[in-house]
Amino acid sequence: MGDHHHGPAKGISRWLFTTNHKDIGTMYLWFSFAMFLLGGFFAMVIRAELFQPGMQLIEPGFFNQMTTLHGLIMVFGAIMPSFVGLANWLIPMMIGAPDMALPRMNNWSFWILPPAFLMLASTLFMEGGAPAFGWTFYAPLSTTYAAPSVTFFIFAIHILGVSSIMGSINIIATVMNMRAPGMTYMKMPLFVWTWLITAFLLVAVMPVLAGAVTMMLMDIHFGTSFFSAAGGGDPVLFQHIFWFFGHPEVYIIILPAFGVVSQIIPAFSRKPLFGYASMVYATASIAFLSFIVWAHHMYTVGMPVAGELFFMYATMLIAVPTGVKVFNWITTMWRGALSFETPMLFCIGFLVLFTLGGFTGLMLSIAPADFQYHDTYFVVAHFHYVMVAGAVFSMTAAIYYWLPKWCGRMYNESMGKTHFWISFIGFNITFFPQHFVGLAGMPRRIPDYALQFADFNMMSSIGAFIYGASQLLFLFNVIATIVAGKRVSEEKVWDGAEGLEWTVATPAPYHTFEEPPAVPRPAGTI
């Protein structure tokens, strides 16, 4: 066993050839942060153009390229890989496994990502420009009427789909086959549970996305007519296939965030998670429901009324398990001993803002009302409350929470709190007014707007610059922590933290749990 205890290799080859889950997790996290900054930069361009009515900085066609790339990069480049990175770091440590089940595949699933995004970003410099059809790439705008760069876009989607599928297979295999003796399913931490369910969703729907873009490729280059009425196809079919992928995708993004929050809130409430089993069942029911609600994104395409009713009722139902989760988190805090370190602040921010996003989601599920909301800024506000305040806030909380464990140094708490408050305020200044302009009739994806929307748009832009700037503070804080943070050495960095990852040394050694640990009390009782 002796030579198992070697440390990391030196230099660049450590990162290129590594099969260590911690190294790969680190690379995923840095890559996703880089993508977050790139996608954020595109968002700043969008908000700068929308600062005032009239075309100011960029042309309408380029504006569409910005919105498209912002969406694609944030969803596929920032949020999804960041949670895969977190899974890499934490799942083996949480279930008492020495590494991921398939370490070599793990290396591959990371290393095919940067070329895919490099290719996607390079379309900006191609003739005809980058994809400009929105991240939902509806046909025929994305087929017959697309710039030639669409082929590179399709190829990039294929690669990142393969990466996601490999990553998910690895996570499922790790959770199913690598748990330490005694770590039964109902003892697993909720983060592991939510990721297990997410990974199943990914394996089920990423191939559907691949199918959709393959059909586009065939329509564009091989003369088929999947999405063109002229040859007997149907552009609406594209939307059905896309959203059959796209709705579960929404939960793919938010379920790991639920997992993170379910770890952190108990830690800073110093009290076990309320309703562990019901959390697991609620997650599973959300995952199941996500497969039968996709057409609520398409209420205005002219579906038969029976279809509208079915998708409306099914969508409304999602409020039940989601509500259970929110109630459970709040009950976890109830009569605890609460303290408000940065991770907890971000989790409370998550709770408040995600719940607001849930409320607008419920409003959007009502088909007749959606005829007025659909494709307006109301929808933009809704999904940013869920994606940014949901996924990104919880991801930020996770970084603050586990970073001391990873690098053995404590971040600067007052800088963290400042980051939270600037983010929270900036986020709300950006997105709350978007509810108003949406209800007042401003469509989404427009580079210029009527004068009555001017004040709120300017507010939104100012908020966006504040929120964007706060991320630089975050970057600085993380780097300062890694380089020169105050050293911590106790295994349990947080007094309320529970779980196997807090039983190993701090900083976490390169190899952990080569001998399986004794599994403590069930996770439900923490």
List the catalytic residues: 70, 99, 135, 163-164, 247, 249, 251, 262, 296-297, 322, 325, 444
Q: Tell me, what amino acid is at 431?
A: F
Nearer to other proteins, 26 or 64 (CB): 64
11 φ/ψ sector (left φ>0, alpha ψ -120 to 50, else beta): left
Q: Is residue 515 a contact partner of residue 96, using CB atoms and an 8 Å limit? A: no
Task: Report the distance separating Cα 141 and Cα 157, nearest Å.
Answer: 17
CB of 486 to other proteins, least distance (A): 21
CB of 124 to other proteins, least distance (A): 16
Tokens 């057409």 sit on residue: 295
C-beta of 331 vs 503, nearer to other proteins = 331
The minimum distance between CB 315 and other proteins, in angstroms, equals 10
Comparing CB distances to other proteins, the nearer of 6 and 335 is: 335
Count of residues for the chain?
526
Nearer CB in complex with other proteins: 42/274: 274
Residue 297 CB, nearest approach to other proteins (Å): 12
Answer whether 200's CB lies under 8 Å from 172's CB. Answer: yes
User: In the complex with other proteins, which residue's Cβ is closer, 507 or 516?
Assistant: 516
Q: How many CB atoms lie within 10 A of CB 208?
A: 17
Structure tokens at 382: 């809704």
- Going by C-alpha positions, the residue among 464, 422, 455 that lies closest to residue 436 is 455
Q: Name 409's bridge partners.
A: 487
Is residue 140 reached through a cis peptide bond, with omega within 30 degrees of 0 on the bond before it?
Answer: yes
CB 4 within 8 A of CB 511: yes
Residue 359 · residue 47 · CB < 8 Å: no
Nearest distance in Å: CB 236, other proteins: 6
- Beta-carbon contacts of 146 under 8 Å, excluding residues fewer than 6 positions away, are 131, 132, 133, 220
Q: In angstroms, what is the minimal distance from the CB of 11 to other proteins?
A: 30
Phi, psi (rounded to 5 degrees) for 443: -70, 155
- Considering beta carbons, is residue 375 or 491 the nearer one to other proteins? 375
